[in-house]
């Protein structure tokens, strides 16, 4: 991975899901614009490194592109059906944009160019009208750029057998032209929580089950900027389908074009595969089951700039592993409440968010160094920049310094579950409710 990256081209910024961008960012005082985003999906925005334009998938099968300066919609293209939700898209170095749309029954991966021209689409093969069996793509596309201008695209593929209450999960790899290069099975679990598993039940994750509405945060050490409807005394997260959680991370392997891909089914299994050559270029390096109690939910994996593989878990533990060997690096800090956001990092410090409305800082030795409350449920993953930590909660947006001292609060309802994206100039973009917000770079 590249720890001094300044672009934000896929979920949590890069192929490793590091959540870090080496740019200076400001607060929320200079709110540049806001634009309606019809029926927002569950994904987050990404940024085109060519011109800082913004891509966002919605909840009715559309991929939209916005101008960074004023939020004007440049184009909208139909990727899925009106009943399919978009995940966080991804863009490769050649300007190819990959977007996944899915629901409980159908899914499709679509590739567009920067002008909105559709290049190809891929739909899993399977019975179209058989309610007992389904084959679905899920997650957000994870892109690895190749030295020849091509790209590898990694996703999870689930085969569901409802009569047997079983879900088989595979890692699948595409090239930039939509050709399937490889797939490999790595997980079998129950579909329904009642069966002891939690396959499709993770579509409505712990983040949105039983979230307690809480009062707005105490603001003794921050500069509040209140916007939107704040008449309600309490804030809560929307209850939304969640097929868009990314489940892959890719890091440097034996050579530039031979990445190591780390994948989780989101339930109990995490595995690593080396990309190589041959008829099936995915070779398993290791497989682990880091949960301690049955089938807790795992966040997507993040390989951080400090070299650690980190995953949050609904059992409250932050799982730390060696990404090359799968070795458990304990102690695992226990936050005693479900961790819902993909961890992010700055140097030795790891930042995580919890379902009950906390942002925590853990050092790379596994010691919990600070935990602060935002007094509202959190489902977003943190953005870490050279100057701050940014989090979306049910009651608005928060900026902290790197020691988790609150700097700014932008109170807003409804807020939602989008994570922040950052432009190479330090501008910030985030979805709240049905609006996309743009904040100016620091002056």
pLDDT at 293: 54
What DSSP character marks residue 283?
E
Q: Give me the residue label for tokens 């309600």.
A: 232
- Higher-confidence residue of 175 and 40: namely 175
Measured over the CA atoms of residue 350, residue 390, residue 234 and residue 213, the dihedral's sign is negative
Q: Report whether 91 contacts 65 (CB < 8 A).
A: no
Q: Provide the edge-to-edge strand list for the sheet that holds 282-288.
A: 248-255, 258-264, 270-275, 282-288
Q: What gap in Å lies between CA 172 and CA 194, rounded to an integer?
A: 28
Mean local confidence (pLDDT), 149-168: 91
pLDDT at 245: 63
- Label residue 4 by pLDDT band (50, 70, 90): low
pLDDT at 249: 94
pLDDT at 29: 84
Q: Please provide residue 269's backbone torsions phi and psi, each rounded to the nearest 5 degrees.
A: -110, 135
pLDDT at 400: 96
- What is the pTM for the complete model shown? 0.89
Q: Which of 23-32, 107-116, 190-199 has the lowest mean pLDDT?
A: 190-199
Q: What gap in Å lies between CA 138 and CA 191, rounded to an integer?
A: 14
- Which residues make Cβ contacts (< 8 Å) with residue 66, sequence separation at least 6? 35, 53, 54, 55, 56, 72, 73, 74, 436
User: Both tokens of residue 191?
Assistant: 């579909």
User: Considering the chain, what is the average pLDDT of its residues?
Assistant: 83
pLDDT at 346: 86
Q: What gap in Å lies between CA 353 and CA 393, rounded to an integer?
A: 10
- Label residue 149 by pLDDT band (50, 70, 90): very high
Torsion, Cα 343 69 72 94, to 10 degrees, reads -60
Q: Report whether 383 contacts 389 (CB < 8 A).
A: yes
CA-closest candidate to residue 266, choices 295, 228, 227, 302? 295
- Label residue 218 by pLDDT band (50, 70, 90): very low
Say whether pLDDT at 198 is over 60.
no
Predicted confidence (pLDDT) per residue in 316-344, tens digit: 899 999 999 999 988 889 998 888 889 99
| Side-chain half-sphere exposure of 61, counting CA atoms within 13 A | 11
Secondary structure (3-state) at 69: coil
């Amino acid at each position: 991975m590249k720890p001094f990256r300044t672009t934000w081209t896929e979920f949590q910024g890069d192929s490793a899901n590091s959540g870090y961008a080496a740019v200076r960012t400001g607060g929320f005082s200079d709110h540049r614009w806001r634009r309606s985003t019809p029926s927002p999906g569950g994904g987050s925005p990404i940024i085109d490194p060519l011109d800082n334009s913004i891509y966002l998938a919605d909840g009715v099968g559309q991929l939209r592109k916005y101008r960074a300066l004023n939020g004007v919609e440049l184009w909208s293209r139909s990727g899925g059906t009106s009943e399919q939700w978009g995940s966080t898209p991804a863009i490769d170095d050649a300007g190819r944009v990959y977007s996944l749309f899915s629901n409980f029954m159908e899914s499709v991966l679509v590739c567009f160019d920067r002008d909105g021209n559709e290049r190809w689409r891929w739909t899993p093969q399977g019975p179209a009208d058989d309610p007992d069996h389904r084959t679905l793509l899920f997650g957000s596309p994870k892109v690895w750029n190749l030295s020849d201008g091509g790209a590898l695209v990694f996703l999870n593929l689930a085969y569901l057998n409802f009569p047997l209450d079983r879900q088989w999960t595979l890692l699948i790899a595409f090239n930039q032209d939509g050709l399937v290069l490889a797939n490999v099975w790595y997980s079998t679990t129950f579909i329904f929580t009642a069966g002891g598993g939690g396959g499709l039940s993770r579509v409505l994750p712990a983040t949105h089950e039983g979230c307690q509405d809480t009062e707005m945060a105490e603001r003794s050490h921050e500069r509040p900027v209140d916007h939107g409807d704040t008449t309600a005394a309490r804030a809560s997260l929307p209850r939304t389908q969640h097929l868009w959680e990314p489940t892959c991370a890719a890091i440097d392997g034996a050579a530039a074009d031979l990445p190591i891909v780390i994948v989780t089914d989101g339930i109990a299994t995490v595995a690593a595969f080396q990309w190589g050559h041959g008829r099936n270029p995915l070779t398993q390096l290791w497989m682990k089951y880091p949960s301690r109690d049955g089938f807790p939910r795992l966040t997507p994996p993040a390989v951080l700039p400090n070299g650690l593989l980190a995953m949050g878990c609904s059992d409250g533990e932050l799982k730390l592993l060696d990404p090359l060997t799968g070795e458990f690096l304990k102690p695992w800090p226990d936050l005693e409440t479900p961790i819902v956001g993909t961890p992010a990092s700055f140097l030795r410090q790891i930042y995580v968010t919890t379902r009950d409305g906390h942002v925590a800082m853990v050092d790379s030795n596994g010691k919990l160094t600070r935990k602060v409350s935002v007094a509202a449920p959190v489902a977003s993953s943190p953005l870490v920049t050279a100057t701050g930590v940014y989090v979306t909660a049910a009651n608005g947006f928060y900026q902290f310094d790197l020691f988790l001292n609150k700097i700014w609060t932008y109170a807003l309802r409804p807020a939602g579950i989008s994570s922040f994206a950052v432009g190479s100039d330090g501008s910030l973009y985030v979805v709240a409710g049905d609006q996309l917000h743009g904040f100016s770079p620091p002056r």
